[in-house]
């Protein structure tokens, strides 16, 4: 159950990074709304991470959380923000996914 909480927290990390990207692109009222979304999703992500680490190893849970956020944010960057999808970027995203799965597999 706590690994599911880490995954959900990672999805909220993707959301807060995406909101931050939209803050950069907008101005006026929409910028403040995206910033509000950033604050809310960041708080939810952190609260869920704290909850999960009450029973999971902090190092593993944090690494999985940041990995989910990094991979998801990179994919959102490519799809939404038109970041380049170069061979090396995709190679290292794939390597990161493999590392997250491996770390989860060897944790007790």
Q: Which of 64, 72, 48, 45 shows the shortest CA–CA distance to 37?
A: 45
User: Which residue in the block uniquely carries the two structure tokens 């990390």?
Assistant: 13
**Predicted pLDDT of residue 38:** 97
What confidence score (pLDDT) does residue 81 get? 87
Over residues 61-86, the mean pLDDT reads 93
pTM of the model: 0.86
* CA distances to 32, 40, 41, 65, 80 from 27, in Å: 8, 19, 20, 30, 18
Per-residue pLDDT averaged across 17-39, rounded? 95
Give the residue-averaged pLDDT of 16-35: 95
Q: So where are the chain's domains?
A: 2-106
Could you tell me if 13 and 72 are in contact, meaning their C-beta atoms sit under 8 angstroms apart? yes
pLDDT higher than 90, residue 9: yes
Reported as type and span, the H/E element at residue 101 is: helix 87-106
CA distances from 45 to 48, 53, 56, 69, 75 (A): 5, 12, 16, 10, 19
Share in percent of the chain as helix, strand, coil (round to 5) = 85, 0, 15
Neighbour count for residue 71 (Cβ, 10 Å): 18
């Amino acid at each position: 159950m706590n690994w599911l909480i880490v995954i959900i927290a990672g999805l909220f990390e993707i959301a807060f990074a995406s909101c931050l990207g939209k803050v950069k692109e907008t101005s006026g009222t929409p910028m403040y709304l995206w910033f509000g979304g950033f604050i809310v999703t960041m708080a939810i992500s952190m609260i869920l991470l704290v909850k999960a680490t009450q029973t999971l190893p902090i190092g593993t849970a944090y690494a999985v959380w940041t990995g989910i956020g990094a991979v998801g944010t990179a994919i959102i960057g490519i799809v939404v923000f038109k970041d380049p999808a170069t061979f090396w970027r995709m190679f290292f995203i794939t390597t990161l996914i493999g590392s997250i799965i491996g770390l989860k597999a060897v944790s007790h």
